[in-house]
A and B are shown apart, each in its own frame.
Chain A
Amino acid sequence: MNDEQVDPILDACLEELLSGNRPPDLTARILKAWDALNAPPTVNPNVVLPPKITVTKTGPVRRANRLAPWISVAVAISVVAVGGAIWQVVLRLTTQEASPLGPVAQHSPAPEPQDFEQPLDEDQIRRDEPAAPDTPRVRFDGNIKFPTDPQPHQELAAENIERISDGEIVELIGSTLETAWIDDVEPGARIIGARINGVTWCQRVHQHLLGRLPTTAETDRFTKDQANDRRNRLIARLFNDPESRDEFARHWSSVWTRELIGPGEKQKVNRDRLQQYLRRALVEGKSFDKIASELLTASGSGQPGVEGATGAASFLLAHLDQDQRAIRTSGHVARVFLGQQIACAECHDHPFDESLAQQTFWENNAFFRQLALTQKDGRSELSDVDFLGDGREGDVHFVTPTGLLKVVFPVFSDADPLPRSGLLADGNRRQRLAEFIVRSAKFRRAVVNRCWSEMFTFSLTSYADVMRHHPPEHVELLDQLGEQFAAHNFDLAALVGWLALSEPFAQPSSDLKQTLAVSPHYGGSPLFNRFYERQRVSAATFYDSLAGITEGGNSAAANAGGKLSTPARIGNGTEPKKRRANPELLGPAAEQRMVDPAFQHALRVGPSEGVKRILNSQLDRDDKVKHLFWTLLSRAPDAREDKAIQKCWADQDEADVLNDIWCALVNNGEFVRK
């Protein structure tokens, strides 16, 4: 609070105190004016309406008769003007003699609509009708009894989801989406391409699960496995191998960090700490509902080296406003964890979604009012404090666009309302909100939808975070996957594994001519009968994939067969600073990646480090080339490429040739469309 807000209050009070100008008792005056407003309209018996004059034209019209209408109009205008002047004089005299609004209150101009307007409701509509004598005109309602210990949400308590096996879930995804793949032209046929080969699928799995391309040894191992269930075995191996599990945690913690706090460095937020928290949670196999709960209820500082600091606090710290009203927090939590974009309802009802009223936003906001942002030793900290309320009873006030002030208390969806008190002793609102959220069907659907979007580029809804306004195109699948996600203890790895093994994930990425017109790239709904590739390999994936290049001595082409050592990865918080990508640049826009410093850094690193190491390896010349091909394209050069390379050997030295090949491959459409 600064002095500017205090001085008008202090000045007014000083004037009242020192000059003795106390507020008058206006009760009688207001009640009198109120009675006058309620009085029925009276008719003045002295006013006699003029008789209706009928003019009958007889004979030729004289000049005087022709002017008569104009003379009447002129006289009427004059009378009105004189009357108006007299009325002004009378009004001024009246206002000087008595209280301005006393006797003339009923003639006071109505306030301008934009300044003060009350919503019409049923009672107000009835106001125009004659009310019963004993019926109060104004209804004062004030005795709502909320339970002090609300029962669990009935719908959630009664929910009984049947858990099915992983294989059945994978089948479920394919069979549900198949209904959208039926060819209208050729009955019985499906609009679907040939499944991709194993190597491409292996690349795709590594890219989307671990955030990098497979090393040559990994590709080699997969291709040598001829078992029918080799895809299942690969997924199982990735999740059971501690090293791969850590890579999975690193990649998906990066994905969720971006979802939780958005791109860009934010003041008072330690992004690395949040990612480390998520990574550790995923490595430990913590269920995602527990992760969400911890994110929503975290306290303390997100900074390292502070007692009680937790990386989870960075999520709310990133969205908490200094004015402690948590406006942005409410909108962001709903968007991330419920798939609902409610931020616009801060100021007004949704124009066509009746379920998203302004009141809904503020009821959601009331859950965060016990949350306080404090500064301690230059650090931002989250803490829970008693919320007295805008009206001192734990209530939150907001003003509608029509100027009406409304009062709300925390209410989540159709769950029972919380106790009104905002005191911590009577309940922690954030903890209750976390319980409500993780038990709601919206939460599991939102998480499934986001993971689906990460894997398949497009979500099952038009927009991953606006499910409310845009009903999901694949409603049944989203619901069923959400239920199974909950039945499998919100295991993110299991969910991602189901998606990787599903039929849509094994579809080719090329366009199908039958469905080209309804491609989501052109505004249609995604059918997932082909794999919608992202336009470019992400900076993180690209950077990590360089590790394969640096392992020149273990090329599949050289049949070394040795296991590749784990190279330093992006963003795991342990590697040297210079090798960590800026997470800000991992956004979804392909254009952004084009100017991505991390991407450019990777391009610089490739020739200088990777190629140099290959150059110094013990491989022969052809194997070095094959190693580059296998690493970047997962294949050996074909005859045409081999011929072109042979020409290069003739007039360039080895280092230049390898550099040229490296640059050609990373700028090749085959690589960037992986």
Chain B
Amino acid sequence: MKAASVPESTGFDPAGLIENHQAGVWRYLRVLGCDAVTADDITQETFLAVLQRPFQDYNSAATAAYLRRTAYHFYVSARRRAGKCQLIADVDRLDETWSRWAGQDGGEALLDALRECLGSLTNRARMALEMRFRDRQSRAKIAAQLEITEHGAKNLMQRAKQKLRDCVKGKLE
């Protein structure tokens, strides 16, 4: 068994590489748990590191996977510098799911699917999710506004996310 042949050199457009993949890297970092500012920094750090290292661009998905892996390493480094060790439990499985759902376009189709699926939720469920993810309200406040118990708010959001999960899965797979 031998190594694959080395492809011939072709032209390279750094700006094109960044434009095509930055959104995917940034979103992936957010999935890993980065806040927005840190995601900006690590995205930049990732591209700077990759631009300094030659690699073979087999296809867009492979390049995206390479960038994600690089970003993940920088994320781990950042967490270590901050003295924190809590990470996603199974990154490989998470990466596999992300690759299947958003590996081609950096997550645009996933967001479109999610947007459509949000429309299928009830008003109360959608309102609960908006308060949670847009207004960053606590569960107690959400429960108070919807006039239900905290446990009820938790159940409502869990059911809504389960419905979204199934809906998105049906659209993307």
Contact = CB atoms under 8 A, between A and B. Distances in A.
Contacts of B18: 26-27, 30-31
A65 B104 CA distance: 73
Nearest to B102: A9
B44 A101 contact: yes
Given A37-B48, A101-B41, A23 B62 contact: no
Interface in A570-624: none
B110 A13 contact: yes
A486 to B, nearest CB: 21
Interface residues of A, number: 80
A90 interface: no
B114 A14 contact: yes
B161 interface: yes
Interface string A350-372: 00000101011001100000000
B37 A360 contact: no
Contacts of B31: 8-9, 12
B105 to A, nearest CB: 11
A30 B44 CA distance: 6
A87 interface: no
A479 to B, nearest CB: 20
A17 interface: yes
A395 interface: yes
Contacts of B47: 26, 30, 34
Given A100-B37, A116-B74, A124-B53, A399 B69 contact: yes
B90 A5 contact: yes
Interface string B136-154: 0000000000000000000
B85 interface: no
A18 B111 CA distance: 11
A123 B70 CA distance: 19
B114 A395 contact: no
Interface in A10-61: 10-21, 23-27, 29-31, 33-34, 37
Given A9-B101, A26-B44, A413-B2, A121 B54 contact: yes
A18 B134 contact: yes
Interface string B24-35: 001100111100
A72 to B, nearest CB: 35
Contacts of B12: 136, 138-140
A25 B18 CA distance: 9
B161 A8 contact: no
Interface in B102-146: 102-104, 107, 110-111, 114-115, 118, 129-130, 133-134
Given A19-B133, A391-B58, A411-B4, A31 B65 contact: no
Contact of B1 (A24, A115, A360): A360
A142 interface: yes
A10 B168 contact: yes
Contacts of A233: none
Interface string A274-293: 00000000000000000000
Given A4-B89, A9-B97, A395-B62, A141 B69 contact: no
Contact of A23 (B23, B41, B110, B115): B23
Interface string A130-142: 0000001111111
Nearest to B112: A17
Contact of B14 (A99, A138, A143, A395): A138
B86 interface: no
A16 B77 contact: no
A94 to B, nearest CB: 13
Nearest to A9: B31
Nearest to A142: B57
Interface in B50-77: 51-62, 65-66, 69-70, 73-74, 76-77
Given A141-B10, A392-B59, A8 B80 contact: no
Given A101-B44, A391-B59, A14 B1 contact: no
Given A17-B118, A360-B1, A392-B104, A111 B74 contact: yes
Contacts of B1: 355, 360, 363-364, 411-413
B147 to A, nearest CB: 22
A141 B5 CA distance: 11
B103 A27 contact: no
Nearest to B5: A144
Contact of A359 (B4, B54, B110): B4
A328 to B, nearest CB: 17
11 contacts: A10-B164, A18-B133, A101-B45, A102-B44, A118-B49, A140-B57, A143-B7, A359-B3, A395-B61, A405-B66, A417-B5
Given A9-B110, A31-B15, A393-B61, 13 more contacts: A6-B165, A9-B101, A17-B111, A18-B133, A23-B22, A27-B15, A30-B44, A116-B74, A139-B12, A140-B10, A144-B4, A363-B1, A405-B69
Interface of A: 1, 3-21, 23-27, 29-31, 33-34, 37, 99-102, 105, 108-109, 111-112, 115-116, 118, 121, 123-124, 127, 136-144, 355, 357, 359-360, 363-364, 389-393, 395, 397, 399, 403, 405, 407-409, 411-414, 417
Nearest 10 interchain pairs by C-beta: A141-B7, A391-B61, A116-B73, A23-B26, A391-B62, A18-B134, A360-B1, A115-B73, A118-B53, A140-B57
Interface of B: 1-12, 14-15, 18-19, 22-23, 26-27, 30-33, 36-37, 39-41, 43-45, 47-49, 51-62, 65-66, 69-70, 73-74, 76-77, 80-81, 88-90, 93-94, 96-99, 101-104, 107, 110-111, 114-115, 118, 129-130, 133-134, 161-162, 164-165, 168-169
